[in-house]
């Protein structure tokens, strides 16, 4: 029988802006256990609302006590999974995401985003969030229905890589900013350290594919995940699926190479689940696979392909 572990949103359970394979785990769980956690919006003091009463005191405490790394993401972790070994796969079932704050922000700044040279000044727009109705009201009055998800889900990077910024997604997952990674979806990540060392953070209230200005509605998020070690799998790239779709994930500085990765991975996964030859799986990707731009703003860009499972029956 699995055990549920609830992680308090205390500074000692978080890091700010980096992953580090040398960190000791904040918690060790059994394979198949569930964890609940709260992460604060990716933020610095400059991005907080003027009305500080909107900000959870635990968020302010984390800012006061933690040392910021090269990025602004608050990450909960690392969480070790007993028995996880390098070369295996961590199966992450995303069970629940709920909004943790009544505010969020979206920012534009020079030298960032899909249009790094088009905007010479920093602009920060704070939105008020109605958690009950799952809506946000933007400063100019538009109300948007929210679709919350975690922008970052990761295992620790390889030991020889050392400390890494949370900005760039890589084979360990990380800042993929993939809005398909929501409740009902399972993410698979290659295990690169014994224990796997799971992290989650970077709550997004809503985000379009591309995340073109660098930010979504950045906000606090509660999440529940089931973490299971899969010794029977040998994936070497992030991969996801839900009830209806396979989701392959390509990550590279070059968007064309990310598209090639996502396509090659989908061919591999289609072959695993069908009797198709490789050239037939490639044809199916052209006929029924949808390549989507995940994000173009994190240094390492993302492309994902969606393939309906009904085509594999």
CATH number at residue 90: 2.60.120.580
Q: Is residue 237 assigned to a domain?
A: no
Report pTM.
Answer: 0.95
85 and 161, same domain (yes or no): yes
Q: Is residue 235 assigned to a domain?
A: no
Q: Is residue 265 assigned to a domain?
A: yes
Position 252 scores a pLDDT of: 98
Q: Is residue 196 assigned to a domain?
A: yes
Q: Is residue 19 assigned to a domain?
A: yes
Q: Which of 230, 260, 278 is the last residue of a domain?
A: 230
Position 20 scores a pLDDT of: 97
* Structural domain span for residue 30: 4-230
- pLDDT (tens digit, 9 = 90+) per residue, 205-239? 999 999 999 999 999 999 999 999 999 999 999 99
- Total domain count for the chain? 2
Q: Is residue 214 assigned to a domain?
A: yes
Q: Is residue 291 assigned to a domain?
A: yes
Mean pLDDT across 86-90:
98
Tokens read off for 266 = 């989908």
Could you tell me which residues come within 8 angstroms of residue 50 by beta carbon, excluding any fewer than 6 positions away? none
Q: Which of 180, 201, 230 is the last residue of a domain?
A: 230
> In the predicted model, is pLDDT for residue 47 greater than 90?
yes
> In the predicted model, is pLDDT for residue 88 greater than 80?
yes
DSSP 218: B
Per-residue pLDDT band at 313 (split at 50, 70, 90): confident
Per-residue pLDDT band at 52 (split at 50, 70, 90): very high
Mean pLDDT across 306-313:
94
29 near 59, Cβ under 8 Å? no
Q: What are phi and psi of 161, to 5 degrees?
A: -80, -25
Q: Which of 203, 230, 257 is the last residue of a domain?
A: 230
The overall average pLDDT reported for the chain is 97
247 and 223, same domain (yes or no): no
Give the burial class of 291: count Cβ atoms within 10 A of its Cβ; 0-12 exposed, 13-18 middle, 19 or more buried. middle
In the chain, pLDDT over 90 holds for what percent of residues?
Answer: 99
Chain-centroid distance of CA 45 in Å reads 23
């Amino acid at each position: 029988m699995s055990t549920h572990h609830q992680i308090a949103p205390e500074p000692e359970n978080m890091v700010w802006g980096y992953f580090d394979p040398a960190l000791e785990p904040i918690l060790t769980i059994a394979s198949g256990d569930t964890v609940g956690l709260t992460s604060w919006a990716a933020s610095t003091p400059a991005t907080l609302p003027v009305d500080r009463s909107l900000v959870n005191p635990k968020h302010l405490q984390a800012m006061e006590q933690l040392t910021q790394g090269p990025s602004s993401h608050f990450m909960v972790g690392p969480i070790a999974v007993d028995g996880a070994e390098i070369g295996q796969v961590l199966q992450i079932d995303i069970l629940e995401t709920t909004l943790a704050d009544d505010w969020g922000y979206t920012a534009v700044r020079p030298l960032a985003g899909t249009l790094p040279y088009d905007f010479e000044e920093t602009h920060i727009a704070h939105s008020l969030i109605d958690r009950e109705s799952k809506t946000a009201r933007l400063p100019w009055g538009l109300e948007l229905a929210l679709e919350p998800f975690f922008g970052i889900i990761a295992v620790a990077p390889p030991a020889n890589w050392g400390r890494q910024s949370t900005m760039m997604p890589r084979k360990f997952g990380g800042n993929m900013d993939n809005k398909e990674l929501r409740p009902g979806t399972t993410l698979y990540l290659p295990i690169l350290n014994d224990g796997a060392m799971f992290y989650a953070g970077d709550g997004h209230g809503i985000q379009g594919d591309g995340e073109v200005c660098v930010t979504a509605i950045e906000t606090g998020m509660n999440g529940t995940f089931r973490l299971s070690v899969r010794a029977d799998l040998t994936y070497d790239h992030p991969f996801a699926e839900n009830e209806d779709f396979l989701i392959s994930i390509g990550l590279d500085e070059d968007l064309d190479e990310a598209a090639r990765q996502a396509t090659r991975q989908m061919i591999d996964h289609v072959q695993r689940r069908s009797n198709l030859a490789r050239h037939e799986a490639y044809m199916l990707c052209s006929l029924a696979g949808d390549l989507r731009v995940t994000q173009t703003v994190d240094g390492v860009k993302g492309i994902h392909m969606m393939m309906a499972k009904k085509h594999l029956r």
